[in-house]
Amino acid sequence: MLEEEKIEFENLLFTVDDGIALITLNRPDKMNALNIDLLDELHEAFIECEMDDEIKAVLLTGSGEKAFAAGADIQELASLSPMEAREQSQDTADLFFYIERFPKPVIAAVNGFCLGGGNELAMACHMRWASEKAKFGQPEVNLGLICGYGGSQRLPRLIGKGRAIELLISGNTIDAQKACEFGLVNHVVKQDDLLNECKQFLSTVLTKGPLAVKLSIEAVNRGYDMSLEQGVALESELFGIISSTSDSMEGTAAFIEKRKAHFLGK
C-alpha cells in the first residue's frame, strides 16, 4: 500500500502513513457506537493491516472529540433474539481476540467516552493512550445487561478483581487519570496531542527489531494465563527462535560495533 493511500469504508476512516495504519471509528452521530456493519469493517481493516507488509503498527481511535466509542448500538441489540445476541457476542469476542493477538503493535487512542463495547474494544488493544477528557466504564447494568464482548474478563485482569466488580455492578464511569491510576490506560495526554503522542511512540517501536516486537507481544499474550514456570518455558522457547534470526545477529553485531542496527524482519 502506498503512503497515505486510503481504503474506503462506510463506518471507518483508514489511512496509512510511515508504516502506521490509522483506523478511525466513524459514526460520530451515534458516538461511534459499535454496530454489526462497523465491526465487520473493523475486521476487514485489521486483516488488511496484517496482510500488508508495509503496515508495521495500528492506531485505533474515534472520530470527533466526544467519543472513542460510547458502546454497542443499543437499538440494534434490542432487535436481536437471544440466539442472535449470543452469536453476535461470540463473533465480536472472536474479533477482539484477533485484535488482542495481533502480531503488530496496536494502540487505542481514547479521545472521549469509552464505554461498554467501546471499552471492551480498547481493552483488546495492546495499549491505551487517553486524552485528559476521556471517560471509561461498563454501564451495561444500567440497561439490565452484562458485558458481551469480554469486558468481565479483561477488566479484572487489567485493574484487579475488586475494582472491576465495582465498575461492573455500579455502571459508574471513571476519568482518564483514575483509569491510568488503576492500570487501565498507559498514559494520559492533552486532547490535541493524543494522536501525535501515539504516533511518536509507535515510530520509536518501529526502529526496533520487528520480529522481536512480534514475539514480545506473543510471549505476553500466550503466557499471561500460564503459571510462572510455564510462561518462562515459553519465553525460553521464543528466545531460542529469535536467536536464530538474521535480525538478532544484526542487532548484537551493531551493539558490539557501536552502530545503528538495520533490521530486515528476517
Looking at the fold, whether 173 and 72 belong to one and the same domain comes out as: yes
Distance CA 146, CA 231 (A): 31
State how many domains the chain has. 2
Q: Is 204 exposed, middle or buried (0-12, 13-18, 19+ CB in 10 A)?
A: exposed
Q: Who wins on pLDDT, 209 or 162?
A: 162
Write out the three cell numbers for 95: 474479533
Residues 145 and 163 in one domain: yes
Tell how far CA 215 is from the center of its chain: 17
Residue 266 lies in a domain: no
Question: Which letter, b or e, does each residue of 50-72 get, where b requires 16 or more Cβ atoms within 10 Å of its Cβ?
Answer: eebeebbbbbbbbbbeebbbbbb
Question: How confident is the prediction for the chain on average, in pLDDT?
Answer: 93
Averaged pLDDT, 244-265: 81
- Catalytic-residue membership of 120: yes
190/249 same-domain check: no
CA distance 84 to 137: 25
**For position 3, what pLDDT does the model report?**
44
Q: In this predicted model, what pLDDT tens digit does every residue of 6-50 receive, in sequence order?
A: 578 999 999 999 999 999 999 999 999 999 999 999 999 999 999
C-alpha cell at 129: 493512550
Q: pTM, whole model, 2 decimals?
A: 0.93
- Among 54, 120, 197, 229, the active-site one is 120
Residue 251's domain is classified under what CATH number? 1.10.12.10
Helical H segments across the chain, by residue range:
36-51, 74-78, 82-100, 117-124, 151-159, 161-170, 176-182, 194-205, 210-223, 228-243, 246-257
> Distance from first CA to last CA of the chain, Å, rounded?
21
**96 and 186 together in one domain:** yes
* Buried b / exposed e along 221-245 (16+ C-beta atoms within 10 A): ebbeeeeeeebeeebeebeeebeeb
234 and 116, same structural domain? Answer: no
199 and 80 assigned to the same domain: yes
CB-based contact 151:131 (threshold 8 Å): no
Cα–Cα dist 11/264, whole Å:
35
| C-alpha span between 72 and 31 (Å, rounded) | 10
The answer as to whether 7 is a domain residue is: no
pLDDT value of residue 2: 43
- Both 66 and 194 in a single domain? yes
- pLDDT tens, position by position, 75-124: 888 888 999 989 999 999 999 999 999 999 999 999 999 999 999 999 99
Task: Give me the mean pLDDT over the 144-152 stretch.
Answer: 95
**Distance from C-alpha of 23 to C-alpha of 58, rounded to nearest angstrom:** 7
Question: Structural domain of residue 94, as residue ranges?
Answer: 12-205
pLDDT band at 5 (very low <50, low <70, confident <90, very high): low
Contact 116, 138 (CB under 8 A): yes
- Active site residue: 132, 140, 166, 229, which one? 140
Q: Is 84 noted as a catalytic residue in this protein?
A: no
71: pLDDT strictly greater than 60: yes
> Using an 8 Å Cβ cutoff, are 30 and 73 in contact?
yes
263 belongs to a structural domain: no
Residue 69: inside a domain: yes
Instruction: Assess whether 222 and 169 both reside in one domain.
Output: no
What's the CA gap between 209 and 248, in Å, rounded? Answer: 8
Element (H, E) at 68: strand 67-69
Q: Is there a domain that residue 6 lies in?
A: no
pLDDT at 53: 93
Question: Based on the domain organization, do 235 and 168 belong to the same domain?
Answer: no
For the chain, percent of residues with pLDDT exceeding 90: 80
Report residue 261's pLDDT band, with 50, 70 and 90 as the boundaries. confident
The CATH number covering residue 126 comes to 3.90.226.10
Indicate the residue type of 234.
L
Q: What is the mean pLDDT of residues 222-249?
A: 91
* DSSP structure class, residue 106: E
Please report whether residue 4 resides in a domain: no
